[in-house]
């Protein structure tokens, strides 16, 4: 695998929502990244609906049909539906395949009747638990790939939220250990992403399906959730920002293995990914408050191509089912962004999205297009190894936060960040030396199996 050593965008001013250098076109002709922001709805089944295949299939049939119908009713011309697999859908690969086939049929009907152009993303659950099984050789691993085969036959896009490195990351984050987190994300996560995505890309191409992308949800989003809001002090927000910068190098591996985008919505590192690769991305912000809270609800839309809600449980609301209601909300957000393009105000609208969150939190600050591009440049300028580029991303992230006087930090956040940067700077420059240190340091961590990562 060749590591990326140049930027797709020559400067951050070129990056805009709705348009990507490398757009993709789905089976029904939906162009993603071709000039329009498109809503991506993610309905989730209610607890108990997974008790048998028939009940679960019916649940997704209703939720996905409600989303398609609402698009037609309010005049939204495009839609992507993502169904993130629950455990049972991947553990029983035929379940996910049947739901994908059913949804494809629904989308064909809506296209024939109403002209609605829709696409379906299957996100396979990573049921490989790194602290329990060998990530490369287990029944769970085989079921993951079988699920990709079943779903790629009918889906427009396939994705995964891979889990590699999480056992070390979880051990390290509660110990405030930035070295362990870097090892987990850059080395273990990077190796796992490479191993799994080389196979996913082959499966997707065999079935004329788009290999979408990955996300560091298992690690960087864990840090984001632990950092929480302004009242939370579980971990420093600056640590979560560093984790996000590191995650970009890990998630980038999927695209270096042949993934083409659209990137996964919960990859908050996606603005950095788009700046580096030019591929279209999905992002989630204010409309994902139904699933979780975050401190970057507007800025994360600044360069999106798909605008998502993360996930919403399927149930009735005053305005209809949750799938229908959130489809309408996402569609109106997308229409607003697209109207700004048509009127020639996209730069002004993007500036408002950025300014509203820029100094809310270090995590929002580093996702602003200018900072995302600068972190991406640090990654591509240090492409000797996954380790060197991830460390460079973290160091550049810290430099940006400390270098802007408007980015106000508490004494605790400032000291924490300086300590993390000092530790990162003290690490060896060679990836092999870093790996040797970490394999020895973390060899006794419960559940860590070096063989899962090819060691």
The CATH number linked to 429 is 3.20.20
| CA distance to 124, 127, 289, per residue, from 51 (Å) | 19, 18, 28
Q: Is the peptide bond before 262 cis (omega within 30 degrees of 0)?
A: yes
Statement: residue 280 has pLDDT above 90? yes
Percent of residues, the chain, with pLDDT higher than 90: 99
- pLDDT confidence of 437, banded at 50, 70, 90? very high
- Looking at the domain assignment, is residue 5 inside a domain? no
- Distance between CA atoms of residues 145 and 199, nearest Å: 8
Residue 8 has pLDDT above 90, yes or no: yes
Q: What is the mean pLDDT of the chain?
A: 98
Q: How many CB atoms lie within 10 A of CB 207?
A: 15
Task: With respect to residue 359, please indicate whether it lies within any of the assigned structural domains.
Answer: yes
Model confidence at 11, in pLDDT bands (50, 70, 90)? very high
pLDDT, one tens digit per residue, over 133-162 is: 899 999 999 999 999 999 999 999 999 999
Q: What is the pTM of this model?
A: 0.98
Number of domains composing the chain = 1
pLDDT at 192 over 90: yes
At 307 the pLDDT is 98
Q: Does residue 253 sit within a domain?
A: yes
- pLDDT at residue 96, rounded to an integer: 98
Asked whether the beta carbons of 74 and 328 are under 8 A apart, the reply is yes
**Which pLDDT score is estimated for 233?**
82
Residues 423-434: pLDDT tens digits?
A: 999 999 999 999
Number of residues that make up the chain: 455
pLDDT over 90 (residue 391) = yes
The predicted structure's pLDDT at residue 339: 98
Average pLDDT, integer, range 227-238: 95
User: Which residues span the domain enclosing 130?
Assistant: 12-453
10 Å CB burial of residue 418 (0-12, 13-18, 19+) is middle
Q: What is the pLDDT of residue 431?
A: 98
Instruction: For residue 4, tell me if it sits in a domain.
Output: no
Whether residue 3 lies inside any domain: the answer is no
């Amino acid at each position: 695998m060749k590591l990326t050593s140049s930027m797709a965008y020559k400067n951050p001013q070129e990056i805009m929502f709705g348009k990507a250098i490398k757009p993709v076109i789905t089976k029904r002709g939906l162009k993603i990244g071709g000039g329009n922001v498109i809503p991506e709805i993610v309905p989730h089944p209610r607890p108990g609906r997974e008790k048998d295949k028939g009940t679960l299939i019916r649940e997704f049939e209703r939720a996905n049909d409600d989303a398609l119908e609402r698009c037609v009713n309010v005049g939204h011309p495009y839609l992507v539906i993502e169904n993130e697999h629950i455990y049972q859908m991947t553990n029983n690969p035929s379940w996910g395949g049947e739901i994908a086939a059913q949804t494809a049929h629904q989308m064909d009907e809506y296209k024939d009747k109403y002209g609605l152009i829709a696409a379906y993303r299957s996100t396979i659950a990573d049921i490989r638990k790194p602290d329990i099984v060998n990530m490369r050789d287990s029944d769970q691993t085989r079921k993951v790939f079988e699920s990709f085969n079943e779903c790629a036959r009918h889906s427009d896009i396939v994705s995964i939220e891979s889990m590699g490195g999480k056992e070390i990351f979880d051990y390290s984050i509660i110990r405030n250990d930035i070295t362990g987190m870097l090892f987990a994300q850059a080395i273990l996560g990077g190796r796992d992403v490479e191993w799994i995505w080389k196979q996913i890309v082959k499966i997707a191409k065999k079935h004329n399906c788009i290999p979408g992308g990955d996300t560091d949800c298992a690690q960087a989003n864990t840090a984001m959730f632990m950092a929480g809001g302004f009242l939370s002090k579980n971990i420093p927000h600056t640590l979560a920002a560093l984790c996000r910068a590191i995650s970009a190098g890990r998630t980038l591996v999927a695209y270096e293995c042949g993934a083409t985008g659209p990137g996964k919505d919960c990859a908050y590192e996606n603005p950095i990914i788009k700046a580096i690769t030019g591929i279209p991305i999905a992002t989630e912000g204010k409309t994902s408050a139904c699933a979780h809270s975050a401190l970057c609800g507007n800025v994360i839309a600044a360069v999106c191509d798909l605008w998502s809600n993360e996930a919403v449980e399927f149930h009735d609301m005053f305005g209809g089912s949750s799938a229908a209601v959130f489809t309408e909300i996402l569609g109106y957000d997308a229409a607003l962004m697209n109207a700004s393009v048509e009127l020639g105000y996209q730069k002004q609208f993007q500036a408002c999205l950025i300014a509203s969150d820029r100094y809310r939190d270090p995590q929002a600050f580093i996702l602003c297009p200018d900072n995302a591009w600068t972190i991406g440049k640090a990654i591509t300028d240090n492409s000797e190894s996954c380790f060197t580029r991830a460390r460079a991303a973290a160091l550049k992230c810290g430099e940006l936060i400390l270098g802007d006087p408007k980015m106000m930090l508490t004494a605790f956040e400032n000291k924490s960040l300086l300590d993390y940067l000092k530790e990162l700077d003290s690490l060896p420059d060679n990836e092999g030396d870093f790996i040797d240190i970490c394999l020895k340091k973390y060899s006794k961590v419960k559940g860590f199996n070096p063989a899962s990562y090819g060691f």
